[in-house]
Structure 1
């Protein structure tokens, strides 16, 4: 019962924290330099890990799905099968998990260290809202940069899938791409890009909240960072399913 009460109180605090973060978005002009710094950290510096994950999953999907379709003599549908998996699900999902580990961990550790060293209390003492100064730029930067990162992830995954289809399955590139383009639906892009702001909100707010909640010295920073990564990764997986289901129910 005590644990349940603590969970309810934590969820209540997080909801209030999230509302305050969104309420400070109109102050973005005042903290534009912080937004740009976080956009560089969140976007540009995340490109390598996004590319590695998307290239790996694009190659793997093309190889495995191609082997399966070859058994049924339907290898010409490899492009469409790969694009469905990469565009709708695996591209955005892997990007979300990678950024949860990279960007979320950085947020949690940085804000946790500031909380432990009382820098956040110092901001309050000088009349600065720590949510507006520290959380809002991270949230806005993630909302802006996650969209192009998902586009890059989808593009890299499909290009790698095409190369694997050409050199591993000996499938003509024209056949691969012709099975994709005529059958692309608006729903494919809506599902993919709608996940960007959802993942951005989850990763940024959960990691920042855990950083603000850090207690107990450097060990507490580690605990809060790990808790933020685990919670945000789990919520990304859940949100990935429900966003896909919501879009399919509405657009079908």
Structure 2
């Protein structure tokens, strides 16, 4: 009996490992096809503009809300901590580095993983279930070039200005709270910001934008392309895309910071 249970577990683990490796292979080939079709962007420029509006302009409110919230909270908490040590004048430096290096791009990535990624997964999953993707193939259109590549190009273009907007909103909200909550003169706050920020800080923050764009777009789109099982399958594909892309965004956030800071 114990041997039977052990063999059953070994078989299950072996099948899961094979499924995982096959999924990684399919995802890699899917990603390569998306990148190789980027030269066809001119043909699908209308789709690119539509996706740029969805992931760019339409995402501004949620990016602003998250950036303002975290900037305000950071100013209050860090200011209270620095005040205990008599170093409240360092609030601008601490807040600016935290927002520009980490919190600005990270929050932008997580918010867009939930908003843009979920839309990709749900929309492409519904097209897969309703056989619209198969219809595109039947008419001689590459579905990856038509549906995925414009999303990838739009995300690569729009995530950088969204990161800049997130940084700006976070710093402005932190400065406002520093002035009205901690009664810190704005000149003191900003004088602690500008001299302390170097090229390395901006490179760390803005290098994350294209990485997050690639992760969110490809993971969510791939899960939509492999959706099956009716409307419930679309829901599962959408949720899986959000969860996996959000986790990979957190992992990529750490490694991009580590690589850039160690090499600059």
The reply to whether TM is greater than 0.5 is: yes
Matched, 1:161 2:174: yes
Match of 1:44 in 2: 57
* 1:194-205 superposed matches below 5 A: 194-205=207-218
- Distance in 1 separating the partners of 2:75 and 2:18: 48
* 1:81-92 superposed matches below 5 A: 81-92=94-105
Q: Paired residue for 1:141, among 154, 159, 162?
A: 154
- Distance in 2 separating the partners of 1:180 and 1:196: 22
Q: Paired residue for 2:109, among 75, 96, 108?
A: 96
Matched, 1:208 2:217: no
Q: Paired residue for 2:165, among 144, 147, 152?
A: 152
State the Cα deviation string for residues 74-105 of structure 1 (Å, max 9, x = none).
00000000001100001100110000000000
* 1:1-252 superposed matches below 5 A: 1-251=14-264
Q: Show structure 1 runs of 5+ residues with no match.
A: none
Q: Look up the SS of the partner of 2:184 in the other structure.
A: coil
Q: Where in structure 1 do 4 or more consecutive aligned residues deviate above 4 Å?
A: none
Q: In terms of Rg, which structure is larger?
A: 2
- Distance in 2 separating the partners of 1:233 and 1:165: 31
- Distance in 1 separating the partners of 2:196 and 2:247: 32
| Count of residue pairs the alignment pairs up | 251
TM-score by structure 1 length?
A: 0.99
CA-based RMSD of the aligned residues comes to 0.3
Q: Show structure 2 runs of 5+ residues with no match.
A: 1-13
Give the drift of 1:63. 0.3
- Distance in 2 separating the partners of 1:131 and 1:236: 23
Q: Look up the SS of the partner of 1:163 in the other structure.
A: helix
Give the drift of 1:4. 1.0
